[in-house]
Amino acid sequence: MDFLREIEGKRVHDPTMMMTKSATRCVCIPGPVIVGAGPSGLAAAACLKQKGIPCMVLERSHCIASLWQLKTYDRLKLHLPKQFCELPLMPFPEGFPTYPSKQQFIQYLEDYAERFDINPVFNQSVVSAEYDRVLGLWRVKTTAAGLMKEEKTASATEYVCRWLIVATGENAEAVVPRVEGMEEFKGEIMHTSLYKSGGDFEGKKVLVVGCGNSGMEVCLDLCNHNASPTLAVRDTVHVLPREMLGRSTFGLSMWLLKWLPIRLVDAFLLIVSRLLLGDTSKYGLHRPPKGPLLLKNLSGKTPVLDVGTLSKIKSGHIKVCPGIQRLTRHSAEFVSGKSEQFDAIILATGYKSNVPYWLKEKEMFSEMDGLPKKPFPNGWKGENGLYAVGFTKRGLLGASMDAKRIAEDVEKHWKAEAKQHFSLISRPSSNTFQR
């Protein structure tokens, strides 16, 4: 990282330093700092690199794409066809199947980082980022992830930069709901981010809470490993077949949306789903009043793309129950008043952004959900060189769109500033300082 310049060692004016008597390293970055080395951060870095703009990527984990490498289950595949999941500037390898496996996707991301020579600084958790109006620069503070408290303070670093690109993702933290009686329950309670395989639950009765794509697929996986899953569904859900009429449901929807209003495309999706899947409400999966694409657009709620779970529900291998009321030592009581014994509980209750915890600038991101306040497609740009990549609720496709826009925008400023800099250094008088 030859473009780094350590501009300051000990910072005597730093209040934390005065308290801890330790040093905060301060590093000045000429280009943007990108927070997060997931697909979004990598895409932004690649687009910048292609334009000759250096950047620094900070990652709290020890590897790239930590969500995919560390927090997803073994049987996971992309559930949108590969052409909708490619990052900019580098297609998937020819031999990849339509729905690449998690391992294939991770390999692609590793190759992507190598191809664009992206070398994130690992084990760096960004704990605060603040715009310094006097300097006109961002101050991004990190601690070394995984260290003890004292060591963390000792290894604190402040990165100073002109542009800050937030790429920490919509899925940065697991949502773990409070359920009455949770501490009494004797079996294991695990969030899907820690779930790997149904093999760990063979022969067990498992309650899966939440029926998004994770909950539905985990039920199928449990079933395939001879466990007995029950799915707790507290609300309505759209289940669509992953494919219809020989095409991917997602691809077909995007194509139809070019010609037809969303209302009609939704009506079409519901008719075909009814023909292929039957009436899902017969099995406890009631559909929302709004159509699947309209609901996705308005609330970000992703329809479930069925990869075989529904047939296991129909055959009775997966049971469906209403939401949980409370837990006891060995059982769950549902809102219907019924209760049932379980050996383990898997919380498929989703994820949330962590931006409000560390970004001190409060204009761009909502404090409520940690997502940009401006609706799609305008959420990528904030004030004073602040950007967001991967917060569109439109998966990897949305992240790629953001990354390209951000790189184009930064390039404008980068060129303008380089020009200014050049004209300053090339002016004869600029060689001498006039006091």
Ligand X SMILES: NC(=O)C1=CN([C@@H]2O[C@H](COP(=O)(O)OP(=O)(O)OC[C@H]3O[C@@H](n4cnc5c(N)ncnc54)[C@H](OP(=O)(O)O)[C@@H]3O)[C@@H](O)[C@H]2O)C=CC1
Q: Binding to ligand 3IO by residue 296, rule CB under 6 A?
A: yes
In the region spanning residues 65 to 104, those forming contacts with ligand FAD, defined by CB under 6 A, are: 65-67, 72, 76, 78-80, 85
Q: Is 390 in the site for ligand 3IO (CB under 6 A)?
A: no
Least Cβ distance, residue 303 to ligand 3IO (angstroms): 6
Written as six digits, the tokens of 233 are 């569904």
Q: Are 43 and 389 in contact (CB under 8 A)?
A: yes
Find which of ligand X, ligand 3IO, ligand FAD, none residue 215 binds, CB within 5 to 8 Å per kind: ligand X
d(CA 78, CA 104): 10
Region binding ligand FAD by CB under 6 A among candidate stretches 279-287, 315-323, 389-397, 407-415:
389-397
Phi, psi torsion values for 372, nearest 5 degrees: -55, 145
Strands 228-233 and 164-166: unpaired
Q: Quick count: other Cβ atoms within 10 Å of Cβ 341? A: 12
211 forms part of the interface with ligand 3IO (CB under 6 A): no
Residue 167 interacts with, from ligand X, ligand FAD, ligand 3IO, none (CB under 5-8 Å by kind): ligand FAD
Answer with the entry of ligand 3IO, ligand X, ligand FAD, none that 168 interacts with (C-beta below 5 to 8 A by kind): ligand FAD
Contact status: 65 vs ligand 3IO (CB under 6 A): no
Q: Is 214 in the site for ligand 3IO (CB under 6 A)?
A: no
Answer yes or no whether residue 396 interacts with ligand FAD by CB under 6 A: yes
Closest separation in Å from C-beta 90 to ligand FAD: 16
Q: Give dist(CA 58, CA 37) in Å, integer.
A: 7
Choosing among ligand 3IO, ligand FAD, ligand X, none, which partner's interface includes residue 212 (Cβ < 5 to 8 Å by kind)?
ligand X
Q: What is the DSSP string of 102-117?
A: HHHHHHHHHHHHHHTT
Amino acid at 71: K
Stretch that binds ligand 3IO, among 12-20, 127-135, 136-144, 389-397 (CB under 6 A): 389-397
How far, in whole angstroms, is CA 23 from its chain's centroid? 33
Query: Phi and psi of 219, rounded to 5°?
Result: -60, -45
Residue appearing with tokens 């039920």: 219
- Cα→Cα distances 114→106, 172, 288, 314, Å: 12, 24, 44, 46
Under rule CB under 6 A, residue 394 binds ligand 3IO: yes
Which residues have a Cβ under 8 Å from the Cβ of 274 and sit 6 or more positions away?
A: none
Could you say which of 26, 27, 57, 80 contacts ligand 3IO (CB under 6 A)?
Answer: 80
Residues 227-256 that bind ligand 3IO (CB under 6 A): 250
Q: 174 — phi, psi (to 5°)?
A: -70, 140
Q: Please, how many CA atoms are within 13 Å of residue 353, restricted to the half-sphere of its CB?
A: 24
> Can you tell me which of 64, 87, 395, 404 binds ligand 3IO, judged by CB under 6 A?
395
Q: Which residues bind ligand FAD (CB under 6 A)?
A: 35-41, 58-61, 65-67, 72, 76, 78-80, 85, 125-126, 167-172, 214, 354, 358, 390, 395-396, 399
